[in-house]
Amino acid sequence: MAYFGVGAGRGINLQDISKRADMALVFWEQAVADLSARDPVMDRIIQSCGDSMPEERGEAFTTLARAIVGQQISVKAAASVWQKVMASIPEMTPERLIATEMDLLRACGLSARKVDYLRDLSRHFLEGTLATANWHDLDDETLIRRLIEVKGIGRWTAEMFLIFYLHRPDVLPLDDIGLQRAVSMYYNGSQPVDKRTIRAVAENWQPWRSVATWYLWRSLDPVPVIY
């Protein structure tokens, strides 16, 4: 099993990290050290989670499909639905998914809308309209704009892809319910938070907002977030 990142070393070139997935192995330890030093709340959360790190799924199509499955539902529910999907389609490829009967996919717990989204994603991969070869050369916002052209991929899903597949270190998914809950709980006296408040809190996490978000997720749910 490959991991999101572990390693050591200062003076890491963030531009290189943002362009090359294999550079992800060098930044996690530095991110943890920096976040712990700057933010006492984050330090306590990191200490409570131990050496926890996200698991890498490996395939772009699988990562995007799983992120679509996880839209608007809890981590636990998403994991359950995904397990059923994988049991029905052991070889998760665009060809196999688009050929699977809707009734079988619905029986896994997917809504008709999500089935439609997954099929549209499959078509984009089969037709080559998602050019994966140059993804590592694109900055975060450019890549997000390209991904949200696919039916069913909104900004949140694109951000999950940047965090879990491309290993971008500084993504802040403002629409994520878990992030909102955690910032409310730890930084705002359990009072509701808006995007402006989250951005303000997260300024202190740059350039490691993906890592901070991961630890906030884990503080709420012991089940690792995987896409």
Asked whether 68 and 92 are in contact (CB, 8 A), the reply is no
- 14-55+171-220 topology per CATH: Endonuclease Iii, domain 2 (1.10.1670)
Domain ranges of the chain: 14-55+171-220, 60-164
pLDDT of residue 56: 62
pLDDT in tens, the chain (227 residues): 233 333 333 334 444 444 444 455 568 889 999 999 999 999 999 999 877 777 665 688 998 999 899 888 888 898 899 999 999 998 999 999 999 999 999 999 999 999 999 999 999 999 988 867 678 888 999 999 989 988 889 999 899 889 988 889 999 999 999 999 999 999 999 999 999 999 999 999 999 999 999 999 999 987 666 66
Q: Which two tokens stand for residue 81?
A: 């639905």
CATH for 60-164, options being 1.10.340.30, 1.10.150.120, 1.20.1600.10, 1.10.357.10: 1.10.340.30
Domains 14-55+171-220 and 60-164 share a fold: no
DSSP bridge pairs for 227: none
Q: Distances in Å between the alpha carbon of 66 and those of 26, 31, 46, 81? A: 26, 26, 26, 10
DSSP state of 98: H
DSSP state of 138: S
pTM: 0.79
Query: Could you tell me which residues come within 8 angstroms of residue 107 by beta carbon, excluding any fewer than 6 positions away?
Result: 84, 88
Asked whether 34 and 9 are in contact (CB, 8 A), the reply is no
